Chains A and B, each alone.
Chain A
């Protein structure tokens, strides 16, 4: 069956360099002594450790739980003892450290008890999503977005097509191609599970036409009834045909809107390796604890693919493949979209698909001025204007870069590749993007500071008003109380006055009637009369 394919805008035909790492079958790496498992290996919030230093853990045991919706748990890749939970360097362009759980393996590689769900068709979508989330499955194509979220279309979104991305368009990387060749059946099982969870009819597996063996393997693995709803499609080899938006365009002719998601146009797209991980998780109860990693490049003596436990030191797998002494450039990912690392003393994480080791040119190429040739615009698969973006990003005019849809840039690197002046265009876009995110974050925190300051002022005003009110009330109360006191005093005073007057009156009355006035001599009577007269006189004078 042939399907109509659409052409994407721009893109490049690049030398594949793929055969060098596809000569040997994939080998599992020997069990490392130390496993370093970063708590954040995905897009979203870091997981939270649920084990302590000194704990014994089994292979496949959950050691860190998802903290938020956009987050996934982390599992022990082998049995052993947790020897540290601390900051360690991880694969990241910054070379910075982040929290990791470090396990010393005991060599027994003993599995935890597993729940197998061979009859997954009896489970509903939500139960399947929970299994997929609890198995720590993230997009294995490189971005690492938690897969269960993409299996939850949400209300109002109708999904009609499920696409498995096996294009693997970037040069050197062959881990998906090897997985398709070696585990085609597992990928189709995973696809069936995802199809059941999403309740979609139509499925497409897209493979670039330079991977004949993988295509044949998948077609042969299809059962007869499955062939009715699954199309295994060969798409033309063109970089970046494997970009999600580009693949959707190639297969369906539909374009994902700017700032939109494939789900908005009824499409869900997963990587083939993710599908295999889903099959492992649901059918065998194995969480995501290993992945295929391509170790390749001119700096490697024996380029090949390895089945690596998550957390294995990168050094060990590079040694395993033999590093040439002159090799000095280490890239995680491919040559177009990967990032360079300075130190290889880091673990393999869920999103590491390839380690590219090359001989770096000693002399950096001169960067010449932009001559407005327009080659970058001709190859940009997102149909942006790379020159304009470059000018504005360089001038730190970030509003303008957003006017030119900076965030539709998929950082494929085509513009940098073709630029005759060797301008590192993508670096400018990455710079502008992270600056804009930082500015947004700053804006958010300054808004919070404003709110907190305003609330504090409101609180102080309120406190002041409350104090005033309290003072006023107290004063009033005092006034009332003192008013009462006055009247009481008056009454008392009146009573005292009355009593004194009474006493006075009594005394006066008493003084009027003198005592012992009987049997007085004439002389005494005369004296008394004189005294009385004097007293009277004195009284009158007073």
Chain B
């Protein structure tokens, strides 16, 4: 009896030590789920989700404070990826936060720009180049289409334009197939029977 208790106790101590050691040795810094969620989000940094950027939204999702359907730029695709990642059911996009549109960029009408730098300060990804009292311009390749610069412009010289498809970004479309209706199939059967007879 005593031997059994001793043996079990010894084993418990050994395993306890191993677990304790592993907890220290393999300690995970930070929250990896936040990184994973952040990697799925489109990084538009538009704040339409009501959080100040994609990472804060990722943190909110990880903490269970936000739903996975608050990202209009990501749309259905991001919702499905998040649902897969987090093992929850996908939800339809919450229209309160906006509608999913094709990717756009902005451009500045340089004739009107007064060089106030307000848009430069608003841009979350430093995609606007310019200086005080000098004309500004958008670096289109870096623009995420968050539209945060539009409301701050005092002279309304910033416009949205869709990203145009070039020969290099063109994609093969999903094939359009001519699927037969039930009537078509019956006709086909009829023709075959006629041919046989």
B-binding residues in A (CB < 8 A): 40, 90, 92-94, 96-98, 364-368, 394, 423-424, 427-428, 430-431, 433-435, 437-438, 441-442, 445-450, 452-453, 455-456
Contacts and interface: CB of A to CB of B under 8 A. Distances in A.
A96 B167 contact: yes
Contacts of B171: 431, 434-435, 437-438
Q: What 8 pairs across the A-B complex have the smallest Cβ distances?
A: A367-B177, A434-B171, A427-B175, A449-B43, A94-B170, A446-B43, A430-B172, A452-B125
Interface residues of B, number: 31
B184 interface: yes
Contacts of A98: 166-167
Contacts of A423: 177
A434 B169 CA distance: 9
B142 A448 contact: yes
A453 B172 contact: no
Nearest to A421: B177
Q: Is the interface of A mostly helix, strand, loop or mixed?
A: helix
B169 A449 contact: no
Contacts of B179: 366-367
B173 interface: yes
Given A368-B180, A423-B177, A434 B172 contact: yes
A435 B175 CA distance: 13
A437 B54 CA distance: 24
14 contacts: A90-B167, A94-B165, A96-B167, A367-B177, A367-B179, A427-B175, A428-B175, A431-B171, A434-B170, A447-B43, A449-B44, A449-B45, A450-B43, A453-B124
B175 A365 contact: no
A96 B170 contact: yes
A243 to B, nearest CB: 20
Contact of A453 (B53, B166, B174, B180): B53
Nearest to A446: B43
B126 A455 contact: yes
Given A96-B166, A366-B184, A452 B172 contact: no
Nearest to A459: B126
B167 A97 contact: yes
B142 to A, nearest CB: 6
Contacts of B172: 93, 427, 430-431, 433-434
Contacts of B178: 364-367
Nearest to A430: B172
A477 to B, nearest CB: 28
A370 to B, nearest CB: 12
A449 B125 contact: yes
A368 B174 CA distance: 16
Contact of A431 (B42, B144, B165, B175): B175
B94 to A, nearest CB: 21
A450 B166 contact: no
Contacts of A430: 172
A118 B119 CA distance: 63
Contacts of B184: 366
Given A94-B165, A94-B170, 6 more contacts: A40-B167, A96-B165, A424-B175, A431-B171, A431-B175, A449-B45
